[in-house]
Amino acid sequence: MKCLSHHHSRSLLQLAAGMLAMLLQGCVTQNLVPPAVDQVRFSPLPVQRRTIDEPKVKFLPREDGFEYCARITGIPVTPTSRPMACAFWNVKRKDCTIVTPMNTGYNYLGHELRHCMEGSFHD
């Protein structure tokens, strides 16, 4: 293995740090801070109290994700806010569909996944 000088290694570290920062910036959404509800830990409902205990989940990113979620939830699309994701489910068939816009965040997907199992847990 070829060793690098101290000078070279420091330069590479700075470069790597810069690249990592750029990568991380590319991962975050434009709304940098997730909603408060997504920044806390929660205790999952016991299986017997879940709306659907083991749902079959479909993840459906759509071009009209904002508009669809606004239409079925009643949350309006305004210049300052819009529904970032939504889910609908069928208890009898034990299936659940999560709808998001084409660009979304981990928290939104995770949040809706909890809805699939626990129903309207924060309404």
Q: Among 75, 82, 107, 109, which residue interacts with other proteins (rule: CB under 8 A)?
A: 75
Binding residue for other proteins (CB under 8 A) from 3, 25, 39, 74?
Answer: 74
Q: For residues 29 and 118, which CB has a smaller minimum distance to other proteins in the complex?
A: 118
Task: Supply the minimum distance, in Å, between the C-beta of residue 47 and other proteins.
Answer: 17
Residue 88 found at the interface with other proteins (CB under 8 A): yes
- The answer to whether 26 and 99 are in contact (CB under 8 A) is no
Tell whether residue 86 is a contact of other proteins (CB under 8 A): yes
Phi–psi pair at 65, nearest 5 degrees: -55, -45
Q: Which of 68, 82, 107, 109 binds other proteins (CB under 8 A)?
A: 68
Using alpha carbons, select from 78, 80, 92, 89 the residue that is nearest to residue 112.
Answer: 89
Burial of 51-80, coded b for 16+ CB within 10 Å and e otherwise, reads: bbeebebeeeeeeebbebbbeeeeeeeeee
Q: Which residues bind other proteins (CB under 8 A)?
A: 51, 60, 62, 64, 68-69, 71-75, 83, 85-93, 97, 99, 112, 115, 119-120, 123
